[in-house]
A and B are shown apart, each in its own frame.
Chain A
Amino acid sequence: KAGVTQTPRYLIKTRGQQVTLSCSPISGHRSVSWYQQTPGQGLQFLFEYFSETQRNKGNFPGRFSGRQFSNSRSEMNVSTLELGDSALYLCASSARTVGYGYTFGSGTRLTVV
C-alpha cells in the first residue's frame, strides 16, 4: 500500500511570507499528526487531526495552523514566516490504536531566508 506522501519536498521562502504544506496519509488512516524537526530541538509535536477535527496541539504559536479534509488529507500552514521556522516538517499517519505505530512521510524541508 502507498505510504505517506508529503508535498513539496523542498521549499525556500522569504521572511514574512506564508507557506502551506500538504500530507496524504495511508489509505484508511484517519489520524494525521505534524512534527517539526530541527537540529537544536529535535522532533517537536505540532498538532494532530482526526476525522477533520484538531484533537491535540503542541506548544507552537498561532502562526502554525492546519486542517484535515474529509478524505483525511491534511494541510499545514505557517503564516508570517520567521528564520527560526526553517526545519524539516514531518507528517505522520496512524490507525490511532494503542500499540499501533506511526508511519512518517519523507518530510518537507522548509528554508526561510
Chain B
Amino acid sequence: TQLLEQSPQFLSIQEGENLTVYCNSSSVFSSLQWYRQEPGEGPVLLVTVVTGGEVKKLKRLTFQFGDARKDSSLHITAAQPGDTGLYLCAGARLSDTSGSRLTFGEGTQLTVNP
C-alpha cells in the first residue's frame, strides 16, 4: 500500500504569517496533486506537479515536487483568513493495466486567525 504522510495535521497561525505543509512517501507517483476542501464540499484541485524538481506558483502559494517524485511541499506566504481550510496532497498513479487512482494524505487543517 502506498502511503502519503502529510504534516502537520493541524496548523493555527495569525494573518500575515508564512507556513509550509509537507507531503512525504516512499513510493513514486505519476504526479502529485494538492487540493483544498471546505466543510461539506468536495476537494478542489489547486495544482498538479509532474516533473521531479518542479516548482509551481499560484499567487501566494508555492508548490514543489521532490527530485525523486516521492515528496512535495506547499508554502503559503502572508496567509490570509480566506486561506483557512483542509489542504490535501494526493499521489496519482496512472497505468493502462491497473487503472488510475489517487492516494491521499491525512490532510492539514489550516486556520488563519485575523
Chain A residues near B (Cβ < 8 Å): 4, 6, 31, 33, 35, 42-45, 48, 50, 55-56, 58, 88, 90, 92, 94, 96-107, 109
Contacts and interface: CB of A to CB of B under 8 A. Distances in A.
A99 B50 contact: yes
A94 B30 CA distance: 14
Contacts of B33: 101-102
B48 A48 contact: no
A3 to B, nearest CB: 9
Contacts of A101: 33, 45, 47-48
B31 A48 contact: no
Interface of B is mostly: strand
B84 interface: no
B48 A107 contact: no
Interface of A is mostly: strand
B106 A90 contact: no
Contacts of B100: 31, 33, 48, 50, 55-56, 94, 96
B99 A48 contact: yes
Q: Quick one: which of B44, B45, B90, B101 has the most chain A CB within 10 A? A: B101
Chain B interface category by residue count = 20 to 34
Interface of B: 30-31, 33, 35, 40-45, 47-48, 50, 88, 90, 92, 94, 98-107
Contacts of B106: 42
A90 B50 contact: no
A11 to B, nearest CB: 14
30 contacts: A6-B42, A31-B100, A33-B101, A35-B104, A42-B104, A43-B88, A43-B90, A43-B104, A44-B104, A48-B99, A48-B100, A50-B100, A55-B99, A55-B100, A58-B101, A90-B42, A94-B100, A96-B100, A98-B30, A98-B50, A98-B92, A98-B94, A99-B50, A100-B48, A101-B45, A101-B47, A102-B45, A103-B45, A104-B35, A104-B42
